[in-house]
Amino acid sequence: MLHIPCPHCGLRNETEFHYGAEAGVAYPEPNVLTDSEWAKYLHIRANPKGWLAERWVHFAGCGRWFNLWRNTITHEIGPAYLPFTTQPKKPDNIGQEGLKA
Amino acid sequence: MSEISFSFDDKIYKGHQGEPMVAALLRSGMLSITTSTYHGRPRAVVGLGVEEPNALVQLVSGTKESMLPATVIEVADGLAARSLTGVGALPELPEEARYDKTNRYVDTLVIGAGLAGLKAADEHLRAGREVLLIDDQPKPGGHLRHLGLELPASLRDVLAHKSLTYLCRCTAVGLYDQNYIVAIERRSDHLGNSAPANRARIRVWHIRADQVVLAPGAFQRPLIFSNNDRPGIMLSHAAATYVAVHGVQIFKRAVVATVDNQGYRDALRLHHAGVQVQAIYDARPVAEGSSVDAARATGIPIRFRATVLDTVSDAEGVCESVIIQDLDTNETFQITADLLAISGGWTPIVDLATHIGIKPKWSEAHAAFLVNHSTDRLRTHGMLAGDFGGDDNPSIFFGPELDEEQSRHAYIDLQRDTTLHDLRRAVGAGLNSIEHIKRYTTIGTAHDQGKTSGMLTIGALCQLNGVAQGGKPGLSPADVGTLSFRPPYIPVPFAALAGRERGPLSDPIRITSLHQWHVEAGAIFEDVGQWKRPWYFPKPGECMEDAVRRECVAARQGVAMMDASTLGKIEIQGTDAAVFLDRIYTNMFSTLPEGQCRYGLMCKTDGIVFDDGVTTLLGKNHFLMTTTTGGAARVLAWLEEWLQTEWPDLKVYCTSVTEHISTIALVGPKSRQLLQELVKDIDLSNATFPFMHSREAMIDDIPVRIARISFSGELAFEINVTWGYARHIWERLWAMGRPYDLTAYGTETMHVLRAEKGYIIVGQDTDGTQTPYDLNMSWIVSKKKEFIGKRSFQLPYLKAAGRLQLVGLLSDNGDEVIPEGAYTTELNAHPDEHGKTRHTGFVTSSYYSPALGRAFALALVADGLNRMGEVVAVPFGKKVLRATICDAVFIDKENIRRD
Amino acid sequence: MTNTHDTLSPGTIGRRRAATFPEQPPRLWKSVKPKKAYDAVIVGGGGHGLATAYYLAKNHGLTNIAVLEKGWLAGGNTARNTTIIRSNYLWDESAAIYEHSLKLWETLEEDLGYEMFFSQRGVLTLAHSVSDVRSKRRNLYANALNGIDSEWLTPAEVKKLVPIINISEDVRYPVHGATYQPRGGIAKHDWVAWGFAKAASDLGVDIIQGCEVTGFDIKNNKVQGVQTNLGSIAAGKVGMVGAGHSSLLANLAGFSIPIQSRPLQALVSPLLEQVLNTVVMSGAVHVYVSQAHKGELVMGAGTDAFNSYAQRGGFHVIEHQLAAALELFPIFSRAHVLRTWGGVVDVSPDASPIMGLTPVENLFLNCGWGTGGFKATPASGWVMAYTVAHGRPHELNQAFALDRFVTGHLIDEHGAAGVAH
């Protein structure tokens, strides 16, 4: 049960959110892409071990999408930020596994 | 303490209310209380609490729960239990107990109400924080209780503090990310017959704490020697507590084997309680400390560099004498003892800390793995953090060297009957990871999850691996590492974790505003997602087939109505609403005139059909979209995702109105006539109110919105009305409709009617692999604009030849309804040498049509649109039907009936 | 009905001994240090990797090969799954490879000379609604055409087969029927991996633990070997079989694959008198359960929602799963959750595996098995060995190539199978 900082509602339990994988993948201009480029947009998303900027939607709260830095090894939660705003820099590990939020 | 009686294995015992069941049994002389799971050896209690490896019982009273350690069962009037040999039973009895859950947010959660936990609670209270203190014992004090001591007054004040909540009998079972703790509170078993009937037996606590203090204490560990499993061999702290605190007097002559000063303290307690302690055998070369001095002063013989090698039993298998080995000379001698009290050092309870990935560190000084963690969110206190509080000075010693034969009886995991010999075989088989050893030997996999056996395994592996790798015996446990601990810390009943999510509460039930009418009308319901929808409305004596035929005939020949309120409904407003819908739907919506409706299809980015429905332009920049019943939530989520994350420049607002608007579909040639009787303010004739138009109107002073939408091909009206008025409208129609023989119909009839007309149901006539083209709906794919999924139609496979396409299918035998899901093959198809038969498609929808007077089906068939009139085989079970491919529209291809 | 298992008397209180296992052979596998070079290297010492090595040696005569495992052998998903074996998949491509796998399972203990408690106790897949029945029956008809044993059971027949299932109408999602594959079942997962490891080791395969691949040596788009924490290892061919970490390996080799790593949790109870002698799955309520040989109930659920390499998930997933399980099996209410754990599974866009060639020559990929890889262990190894040995896919893994995401020819097991376990 992650504790996720919704930028609009504050810290809430994970069960109020839906996950949306890698953040910042823009919808491309489809008709200029080759099939492989289009397939890449359709199916490939970052899956790093460590910090991942990812999308969540607070579906059981404000209903808003936002982005979040989260560590996929420790489950540390980094800063949340709104779509189309400047991405905060990748957080440093705080060495406190699974606890920050 | 009041005296009560309880039963164990059908015999009656006396006990003191609230004391551990094993204490009462031991006092009565009941030592061997079970036999071991695999080797059938007699076994007795070894420990004090949840670490107990042997004394498992099943309750015969109350819930009949199985696999509970008798060390943690508090005796109460009416308690009855029976012994188990390591295998539990699940009685098939109705569940009478109640289980509930609660949530708590606190400043500080302290786990463990021993001295360390209480002191930590005190500090946090002084800092002005609110503290939740949980502890798995019936009373606070931890270690002090085992010593029979009262809490100091200062700590009693802590418990009385107004900002502290103390929960006893509450065990933290899991520590999760961001200080989320799950705890299990036992609330009624200890009350026996006097438990209030309505009290939840177990409460599951979900706790989110700003700070967590872990002060869980430690378990004493045994030693590895031959025949170390006999009744009469106990952990010294447990033995001394049962004797000194619980008045157990069955032991006459004790021997203490120790590696630390705890053995001395327990020897003294045994001595003072009247047990003759014949000697303390200490594996260390020397020992110092007040307890050692005190033991010396009482005259108990102490021998250093000596430990227990083996034990000898009486005819019942109970420990009778002990064989001691001098660790320097290897000389052995025998000494009689009915109690062998073992102090093998302490194992701090690292479990919770490891749940979130904190790695325990080996401390030579403590001969233990510790977690010394101190951050602003999580701190460890007490023994877990290495505060052993005294002069223990343990040595890193797990037992004497044993030969092959001795190792066969040197138990490491008593519950699993695994021995040092098993461990040696595992190492001999080439295994060196402790995880492999665990899986090979099953050590640590029983109910106690290695609480006493884990550290022994590590100790033994140090020796064995050292030898196996040619190194010196005595690799450090730091090299071996611990077993991994996983939640829950103690076993938890399924029922407790399920809580109230049982039966009707296991998933929300969604009903429409007309539900009660349907119930009263005798509807049979089907589950569609969370919704309950009327499936059909049987009249007395009718089977489903009869009812559906009657309902179909009414809709095609007279008038019928259904509750379509479960359709997803989304209001879409804003200056860019039309632009947005153009991007979402494959067809154009920006050209839709006000007051008109249009059917739309939406695809995912991969070009696969995702949902469909009719959208109406209610007014300027104001659409009402309908979705499939099951798709409502995901379509809204889909719209929001695009708006928020891709097209924030679009001024569009989406609102779910599914439960605000009820929809009644009035269907059939007589529907206009009937409805006009109720609707006075607008003319329903085709000329003024054409197909796919929408109008506001009044029925009995209630505003409604009526749309000429048909999912059957018949003349039909969809009446949208505010949820709360739906029953009134429905009942007015029902009353007015009596002369028309107005018939209520359910989803099955809806399916027959729409399939006759070739209308698809997304999810039934599609399976997540169809493009609009596959559904013969190229007419709905706009060439003029860009929309989601369009690019994917250009991918090679999506435009390849031979794709499955939606067609009609008529079986040769018109009375036979082809099973849905059946596959089509070529007529002469036969299994190949692998037993496989090539198929060409499958049946998606199949019904008997009263209108056609025969059965018919929709199917997805490879290249089906180019194969009209061809005959295919439909094999299923032992049968093969012949069927002809035809157009998917069976009724009114010219669209005359709808007007 | 072809169920031939003992009839049970659920809830009987007896004092039966739990099953004991036969003795293990004196040596399982030899742990060795890596050589400078091999003909082929398999990255990933789980069940699939070990099976690949075994079949490379046995079927293709390639014995100068090594399996590199970064942790302890078979310590990933092989050690963490719920051991369900079945082949009654919907799509022809899936059915073909899983059925090949099931056929291999049926003789595997004999082939490897190693007991692994493969037990064909049947797999029951429940349907809970009208539409659920429709899709399950389609599955049944598809299986029939693919020569896969599968039967339809009415609720009464379900009850007869598994007397402890609650088939009453008043549960939230009543049982409407079920498909049953009698040849499905379970096996003892660790022993499966050890059996392959032992057999491979006996054929001369080097099994190297604690060896983490940190890079690939690629020249002219052709793989030359791998870099590891134990040094460089040259290899003519390299197979990537590192479920959970597949996308990381692909990134090391310079390309991307459509894989997300997700936690998948499971749980086990203490030993219980036998009450369940078949495997029961329910996609609609997200439960799958069997009772292992010794008597513990083994249960699993769906994946957690987010990407993670932590091998742990949220407790709410477990709580929800138990609530669902008690709806079906009221008798489980007094059973205990003894241990929960998580694995890291590869989730692919169409819930089907990705096997075959990669953009790099002589570098081969096997990943994306999601929540259902255990049952495929032998066949996955079989076709992967073929692919590595011949440099082209076996007919059974042709359809599972990486390029299907470009052509659009997905094998979508989401739609009909619900939860693809």
Residues of chain B with pLDDT under 70: 1, 465-474
In this complex, is the C-beta atom of C405 within 8 Å of any C-beta atom belonging to chain A? yes
pLDDT value at position C22? 66
CATH code of the domain in which A11 resides: 3.30.2270.10
How far apart are the C-alpha atoms of B284 and C93, rounded to whole Å? 67
List chain A residues with CB under 8 Å of C303.
none
In this complex, is the C-beta atom of C272 within 8 Å of any C-beta atom belonging to chain B? yes
A57: nearest Cα among B23, C306, B540: C306
pLDDT value at position B157? 95
How far apart are the C-alpha atoms of A34 and B794, rounded to whole Å? 10
CB contact under 8 Å between C272 and B95, yes or no, is no
How far apart are the C-alpha atoms of B52 and B34, rounded to whole Å? 13
Angstrom distances, CA of residue B471 to CA of B290, B328, B466, C270: 38, 21, 5, 38
Percentage, residues of chain A above pLDDT 70: 91
In this complex, is the C-beta atom of C245 within 8 Å of any C-beta atom belonging to chain A? yes
What is the domain class of B571-656 according to CATH? alpha beta
C221: nearest Cα among C357, C41, C40, C359: C359
Half-sphere exposure in the Cβ direction for C370 (13 Å, CA): 21
Q: Please tell me which of the candidates B208, B358, B644 has its beta carbon nearest to residue A3.
A: B208
CB contact under 8 Å between B357 and C270, yes or no, is no
Average pLDDT over all residues of chain B: 95
How far apart are the C-alpha atoms of B230 and B43, rounded to whole Å? 6
**Distant-in-sequence, close-in-space partners of C87: CB < 8 Å, separation ≥ 6:** C95, C98, C99, C101, C102, C148, C181, C183, C184, C375
- The CA dihedral of C57, C58, C59, C60, to the nearest 10 degrees, is 30
DSSP three-state, residue C376: helix
Min Cα separation B192/chain C (Å): 18
CATH architecture of B801-899: Beta Barrel (2.40)
Yes or no: say if B250 and B29 are a contact pair by the CB < 8 Å rule. yes
Number of Cβ within a 10 Å radius of residue C313? 28
Q: Is residue C350 scored above 50 in pLDDT?
A: yes
**Distant-in-sequence, close-in-space partners of B847: CB < 8 Å, separation ≥ 6:** B751, B752, B755, B756, B817, B855, B856, B857
Tell me, what's the ipTM? 0.95
Min Cα separation A50/chain B (Å): 14
CB contact under 8 Å between B378 and A100, yes or no, is no
Q: Is residue C5 scored above 80 in pLDDT?
A: no
pLDDT value at position C287? 87
Q: Please tell me which of the candidates C247, C248, C406 has its beta carbon nearest to residue A35.
A: C406
- Interface residue of C334, C398, C405, C410 to substitute, partner B, most B CBs within 10 Å: C334
Count of the separate structural domains present in chain A: 1
Give ∠ CA B476-B461-B421 in degrees, rounded to 5: 155
How far apart are the C-alpha atoms of C385 and C367, rounded to whole Å? 14
How far apart are the C-alpha atoms of B521 and B744, rounded to whole Å? 9
Q: Please tell me which of the candidates C14, C330, C341 has its beta carbon nearest to residue B95.
A: C330
Q: What is the mean pLDDT of residues C348-353?
A: 95
Number of Cβ within a 10 Å radius of residue A6? 19
Q: How do B694-699 and B653-656 pair as beta strands?
A: unpaired
Yes or no: say if A96 and B377 are a contact pair by the CB < 8 Å rule. yes
Q: Please tell me which of the candidates C248, C258, C307 has its beta carbon nearest to residue A52.
A: C307
For chain C, the straight-line distance linking the first and the last C-alpha, in angstroms and rounded, comes to 23
pLDDT value at position C7? 33
- Interface residue of C308, C352, C409 to substitute, partner A, most A CBs within 10 Å: C308
CB contact under 8 Å between C309 and A72, yes or no, is yes
List chain C residues with CB under 8 Å of B429.
24-28
B221: nearest Cα among B384, B48, B452, B544: B452
Determine, yes or no, domain membership for A27.
Answer: yes
Residue B835's Cα: distance from chain center in Å?
40
Question: Can you spell out the DSSP letters for C298-366?
Answer: EEEEEE-SS---SS---HHHHHHHHHHHHHH-GGGGG-EE-EEEEEEEEE-TTSS-EEEE-SSBTEEEE
In this complex, is the C-beta atom of B87 within 8 Å of any C-beta atom belonging to chain C? yes
Domain residue extents for chain B: 3-83, 99-215, 401-486, 545-566+662-766, 571-656, 801-899
Element (H, E) at C97: helix C92-112
Half-sphere exposure in the Cβ direction for C154 (13 Å, CA): 2
CATH number for the domain running over B3-83:
3.10.20.440
φ, ψ of residue B395 to 5 degrees: the values are -105, 155
Yes or no: say if B581 and B589 are a contact pair by the CB < 8 Å rule. yes
- Band the pLDDT of C9: cuts 50, 70, 90: very low
Range of the domain at A40: 3-81
The number of helix segments (H) and strand segments (E) in chain B equals: 21, 48
Min Cα separation A89/chain B (Å): 20
pLDDT value at position B390? 73
Judged on CB neighbours under 10 Å (0-12, 13-18, 19+), B162 is exposed
* Lowest-pLDDT range of A92-101, B363-372, C51-60, C390-399: A92-101
For chain B, the straight-line distance linking the first and the last C-alpha, in angstroms and rounded, comes to 87
φ, ψ of residue B703 to 5 degrees: the values are -70, 135
Percentage, residues of chain C above pLDDT 70: 93
Structure token pair of residue C143: 């299986």
**Which chain C residue is nearest to residue B841, measuring alpha carbons?**
C142
Yes or no: say if B78 and B61 are a contact pair by the CB < 8 Å rule. yes
Chain C, 322-341: which have a CB under 8 Å from a chain B CB? Answer: 322-327, 330-341
How far apart are the C-alpha atoms of B60 and B66, rounded to whole Å? 9
Q: For residue B59, which amino acid is it?
A: L
Min Cα separation C74/chain B (Å): 9
List chain C residues with CB under 8 Å of A98.
310
Element (H, E) at B518: helix B515-520
Of B452 and C417, the one with more pLDDT: B452
DSSP three-state, residue B536: strand
In this complex, is the C-beta atom of A32 within 8 Å of any C-beta atom belonging to chain B? no
- Phi-psi domain of C189 (left: phi exceeds 0; alpha: psi -120 through 50; beta: other): alpha
CATH architecture of B401-486: Orthogonal Bundle (1.10)
List chain C residues with CB under 8 Å of B65.
334
Residue with tokens 């500080």: B108
Angstrom distances, CA of residue B661 to CA of B27, B351, B720: 71, 53, 6
Judged on CB neighbours under 10 Å (0-12, 13-18, 19+), C33 is exposed
- Interface residue of A19, A25, A97 to substitute, partner B, most B CBs within 10 Å: A97
For CA atoms B514, B516, B517, B518, the dihedral sign is: positive
**Distant-in-sequence, close-in-space partners of B466: CB < 8 Å, separation ≥ 6:** B472, B473, B474, B475
List chain A residues with CB under 8 Å of C306.
2, 14, 19, 54, 70
φ, ψ of residue B181 to 5 degrees: the values are -125, 135
Number of Cβ within a 10 Å radius of residue B653? 14
- Band the pLDDT of C20: cuts 50, 70, 90: low
Yes or no: say if B231 and B317 are a contact pair by the CB < 8 Å rule. yes
In this complex, is the C-beta atom of B528 within 8 Å of any C-beta atom belonging to chain C? yes
CB contact under 8 Å between A44 and C314, yes or no, is no
CATH 2.60.34.10 correct for B99-215: no
Helix, strand, coil tally for chain A in percent (to 5): 15, 30, 55
List chain C residues with CB under 8 Å of B606.
408, 410
pLDDT value at position C286? 81
In this complex, is the C-beta atom of B797 within 8 Å of any C-beta atom belonging to chain C? yes
- Band the pLDDT of C23: cuts 50, 70, 90: confident
**Which chain B residue is nearest to residue C74, measuring alpha carbons?**
B436
Partners for C (CB, 8 Å, 3+ pairs)?
A: A, B
- Band the pLDDT of A94: cuts 50, 70, 90: low
How far apart are the C-alpha atoms of B138 and B157, rounded to whole Å? 18
* pTM for the model: 0.95
pLDDT in tens, C125-139: 999 999 999 999 999
How far apart are the C-alpha atoms of C357 and B202, rounded to whole Å? 54
- Band the pLDDT of C13: cuts 50, 70, 90: very low
How far apart are the C-alpha atoms of B506 and C128, rounded to whole Å? 14
B605: nearest Cα among B789, B408, B357, B855: B789
Q: Please tell me which of the candidates C310, C314, C408 has its beta carbon nearest to residue A1.
A: C314
Structure token pair of residue B635: 């379509």
pLDDT in tens, C274-332: 999 999 999 888 889 999 999 999 999 888 999 999 989 999 999 999 999 999 999 99
CB contact under 8 Å between A18 and B786, yes or no, is no
pLDDT value at position B103? 97
CB contact under 8 Å between B494 and C320, yes or no, is no
CB contact under 8 Å between B357 and A97, yes or no, is yes
How far apart are the C-alpha atoms of B74 and B428, rounded to whole Å? 44
CB contact under 8 Å between C130 and B495, yes or no, is no
CB contact under 8 Å between C315 and A2, yes or no, is no
Half-sphere exposure in the Cβ direction for B667 (13 Å, CA): 28
**Distant-in-sequence, close-in-space partners of C28: CB < 8 Å, separation ≥ 6:** B429, B430, B431, C194, C197, C198, C201
pLDDT in tens, C79-136: 999 999 999 999 999 999 999 999 999 999 999 999 999 999 999 999 999 999 999 9
Topology of domain B545-566+662-766 in CATH is Gyrase A; domain 2 (3.30.1360)
Q: Please tell me which of the candidates B206, B357, B641 has its beta carbon nearest to residue A65.
A: B641
CB contact under 8 Å between C79 and B433, yes or no, is no
How far apart are the C-alpha atoms of B170 and B112, rounded to whole Å? 9
Determine, yes or no, domain membership for A38.
Answer: yes
pLDDT value at position B657? 98
pLDDT value at position C419? 34
Q: What would the 3-class secondary structure string for B197-224 be?
A: CCCCCEEEEEEEEEEEEECCCEEECCCC
In this complex, is the C-beta atom of C359 within 8 Å of any C-beta atom belonging to chain A? no
Which residues sit opposite B654 in a β-bridge? B572
